[in-house]
Structure 1
């Protein structure tokens, strides 16, 4: 590319000092600025900034990639200057002669050299030179500009180049692509010029915005694209931009050859590169949305090429964005991929790329204090990871490495599809395929679909423990709780044998939740607190948030809503700091707000949770949020709305064996029917709810069903059932808090009014003594009991081992 100012510059200065020369009488002619044929759109602020720089600096260089509009901006910025000349360098290899011609200097026999003639002509003049397209003669142009500015105090230079001149005193102003809104305005204006019938409506504006973004906001590309609208239409044009160089291949008459097509614009830059720069540029194109320097060094490596130094040169040439993340414009990337294919390197580079990003994902520390940092890093590499997943050689390892990342980010649908593709490829060792099957089952179950059985026997001990824990974690509120209990105990024992403290903390958290279902609040507290302490020691934000939610639920059950809100609020803060999926966190805060009588706040939390859950295809979180909205609606007397929200979820909950959820919804629907006075419907709903509650094994759910039945039955039965429900709640250390007594107080008041205080108290005490053993014949079912685990669990292996004793 030639030398920088140095020996050549000294030679020029020597020429200047060689002797006097007279001012050329032809100076008043020369090349003035062209009159633009179209309005400059979207550059008002840029013009103002460049003019301000020209007021304070004698050399301003506009840099940027081809097609970004450097020349047009320079012409507009210089338009108000009285003495200005345009020096067009694209078609010449001699910048000195180009300046002479631009000034209109005549050769009238003066013996002085050309540079001396320029110095003499400019020494006492106030003039702005616009030196356009310096990049292909960058060293000679830089030397000339340095010489002239040193000799002529009244001279200013506004240069355009794909790289800076790098001379003292230079102010570099990188010309940015147009922002989307500006690009839409430019595209629309040029489309109307090409087709007067074109009109931009709201729907078209979105398509044009897509076109602008895909063409990187480059004004030249947008102007070329706008001329195609009449022939192709907007939507067809947008679709065909995958082949942008062919679609935008027709020339613009009257434009320089390098600007007639999109390919010509990039060809111009490519031809100016060294072989090392071409190697690195085409290999950088294999990255999607850029890369860090570490990735570039490994993926773009070539013997004898200093990748770091070469990238720095490409940044200087406006072909790569400055770091720390090095990006190519999509147009440059598309060009680079074509050059990669021409060099026969496509397959090799894709494999290098996939190998690097698979290794990166496997190195990610997503458990512990570095969790947030690695989550953000994987976020930034999302596009590269998706490209790497296309490699059959690496896809299975990569999905296993990304599984926890996907789960934490709530991207279950994306994960499920990627894992299914990796499994369908048929590659990988049996252990890898079995682990991928676990991830696929978890993601599938989270989206509310049925999952296939996992080949448990193919997993090693660590894999089996992980599968036992994870399946129980995502399913703890659905299915057979004895099965979940066996799996969690098995996982906990394996984690302890392996010294896996994170696994121990995670298993204790799930075991605490299962203790809730069995009514053992003391065990729930013990395991929840031990889980939180371990996650605190490990510095794991996700785990702390999970353990805080468990303890917050315990505080809610005991009626300590302030403590519940504190714990869950802190858990939400941690989750938000990490950018985790927070729909459940929002819902549980909504429940706490509801119990505190803050209905508007509860509805806000639940609605936010619902929107996020739908966005992330998280079916169980969506159910939890919508049920919360239904609970709030009934408590505010909007019975029709409550039923409309709640009833549709019964089918889904039955499909996933969510008995506690079924019992809760049936209780709510039963209470709504009772409040309307439809006791027949209320009785049927509460009878069905009791069966679900009894099957769930949750004493609190059974107590709720009995309270609902009390409202649908005669006063004598109501009094006894309310007594039984009170005794059940007391037996598990969870008496009904004041905030949740609205239904019970209403039903008890009716029974007292009919029976009188003394008879009501006698029957209530009788019910407390029965504790479910002498239930009225008004409903089917039996006393609360734990269901037995039989057959195979969801992992596909028998539940014959007893839960291991805790050390």
Structure 2
């Protein structure tokens, strides 16, 4: 029997005939199981995947019916069931996607160009259409289909490269032409296409390809083509393409900048000045944008930063500081920068000051860091920028209401938009006033058909003047055109500004204007809308619908209220999240304090995040690991705020619940400094002994690499803590204590049926036994661990289980099938964002390739590992890669092979 997913889902019998599976949900079950590479998929996950949140009545019975139908079609022995769920038994040679991957990997290991071309052709011939073509809209195959499509394009690029190298221009063009049309922004494809055209004598077409690519990149991304592509273009112009090597395009610089929902209006001059300052080779390295709330500092900073992405090879990053507590330290801010840039902070010694660590980590970088909304932590930001700017290639842009007043700072004070002149017509008014242009554009978005006319121009001018040209105020007013005319808005503003501004008094005039404007918008809301809006201000980083309902609702649904607030521009919707603008959030917090609801709303906020963190913590260990990591990543700012509020309220129970639920997330993300600080804060709160306090003490001890006295219970969390503590002690050099804790953990886990901890302890013990030289016992433990982790569909666990197997194979030059496992591990680590594991797995693959005599592949893998380690400031990884590469160069000169076992020593499961 054979299975096909490279195209529509198809199953063939042994004679080559198709096996009919016509019922849609039955086919969907098979597609889902195949997308999981033969791993077990839980019944809950299958139900969620198949019915996407709208399950039928008695969903498990319905699912079982579909499984039974699938078994009748394929044979009962093909669909296996266990406590972990269901899986389909498919050998690698029975699935076209597995055969495709294997052929591409074999091509990569092949030095002979002709053989490589043949293997790549065979691999690409397996494709019958887009992967999982008949389930293109299903979320459960989207990621796997995207990975397969990326591999297909990469294989096609390599095949074209082989054919260009062999002078087979027509064959190369046949591969590239369609791919270039399908991927209009993929630069390496365009470079290969240009080269094939030029070498086949079609220089004019090659130049047109470059021109079209440049236009698209500038229009859609705001960047120029990669220098390698521009160099190829120049060589074609000079008719030198025959001697130019195949283009090697670097990855597009990384960035976390959001995509603006609307165009930036009226800031052309300011944007150009700031951009010029930051891009000048000897220009200022610290630029601060100041101005009152609502004037558009963040919007301008993002616009400038997006235009400079191509200038900074290590990326352009925005770090949001609005959610930081006023009492936060510079180290707390440094931790936020480290997390945003994806650096491996957990590799640092816990005693290292994070500001100093960040200073060293960015040495040699060329990057732009935008520190946004800093007015409440100005002193701490001033200290942090000193560390950032110690690295010559780093530039910093800060948005704040007051300057930092540090040496080397260049301050751009952002003024409000230009106001209209008196007594001029609509066209002149729009041309001369950026405030009017902004009002008109936002008005047209709110009320299609709105236009600036002779009749309404004076009223629009009055509105813009009354609002002092403050962009946020103008946007809030323009949104009201859905319900009011321009004349009614102007009259309302006149009334509003004749009244005292209350708490706004004493502020600069434009700050009073903005507060009065938000006041006016507030007074137009219904009581229910005000209640929801002020309660939303407890969120530091937006919230989902569920989060909004948890803190805002009193037994009623709030979705219609949220939609209404979005329509009024008081709330911004970004995907599935709702977010208050900075100035609106500050106003709403004041309103919340006026009502006396603060304590209750904060209690709801803390309870919601504690409950959700506890609900998702188990998902970090199993099939839904990636989903859970994404949730924790997204909610990190709010989770930190919930913990701060719990500590401030002396709510030990909630604080301990939060830190215990987040502990394993901190492990996976290498957030050791945050883990220690948060656990210490929770444990300092007064309270009696409890299981939660004991668990938090255990986590803290393990993060600090020391013993923790157990209370004798044999529960599942206790077993996990024993294992984690043992692994940490062993890694820290306390081998005997570490071994003892791991053995205790294994016994506890088996006693209570904790399969996950049993597998983790087995993987750790496999490393211990390998250090003792007992390879058979080590392999037995590792394989047993891998078997359990595969049943549980825990991809992090498989990484740990495979580590001792890889080390044993390096020693004995024996790795049947291990390379395939490690390549699967590599994909998992990349998808989960586990960068230390990515680097470690690349080293393992490289050492195995060296042991097989595949020097070029081994060198490529070590170079890739070094690149990622440098990008993530993982110093041990850089040092290990350099040591191997140096030995490889020396061995090449001597005609020998480098030592495959270099740096293949002890590896901790923790």
TM-score in terms of structure 2 length:
0.43
The higher radius of gyration belongs to 1
